[in-house]
Amino acid sequence: MTSILILNGPNLNLLGTRQPEVYGHVTLTDIAEMCRAHAAAHDLEILFEQSNHEGQLIDHIHAARGRDLGIVLNAGAYTHTSVALRDAISSVELPVVEVHLSNIHAREPFRHLSHIAPVALGQIAGFGAKGYLLAIDALLDHTRGAE
Ligand code: DHK
């Protein structure tokens, strides 16, 4: 069975209680379950990870090389700061779909810049947890369309 990595960055472990007016009431465990249910119909395995540490996120991206079809990445605040994450994505040469629960372009100006976007297939932002499912579909369309 093929697999994809769904990787979540800092503070996303607090979803459900963290600023629900911005991020909703859904927990990261809920999102993992939604993703697994969605993927089952596509004969796809989901590897779901979260870390608050930049280096650990980079290790997860490296581990995906040669193992996974691609990556769905919500890098949290590292989206706006991390050249190291961007370089990791460029290094593994895997398709990456960037996801954000909130519409980062409608928020503070410092959230408008994404270091991930230039090396991603595309970005999905503002659709809450549903964005993860849209990202899985986009990744599958891309990879299976390319076969
Ligand atoms: C999550 C975060 O933790 C923020 O730092 C980003 C993103 C937005 C989200 O909407 O999922 O700015």
Write out the H or E segment, with its range, that includes residue 86: helix 83-92
pLDDT of residue 144: 83
For the chain, the structural domain boundaries read 2-143
Distance of CA 30 to the CA centre of its chain: 15
Residue 132 is among the residues annotated as catalytic for this protein: no
Q: pLDDT of 47-106, one tens digit each? A: 999 999 999 999 999 999 999 999 999 999 999 999 999 999 999 999 999 999 999 999
CATH number of 2-143: 3.40.50.9100
Please indicate whether residue 76, judged by its CB atom, sits closer than 6 Å to ligand 1: yes
The atom of ligand 1 lying closest to the CA of 102 is 10
Residue 142 is among the residues annotated as catalytic for this protein: no
79 Cα to the center of ligand 1, angstroms? 8
pLDDT of residue 75: 98
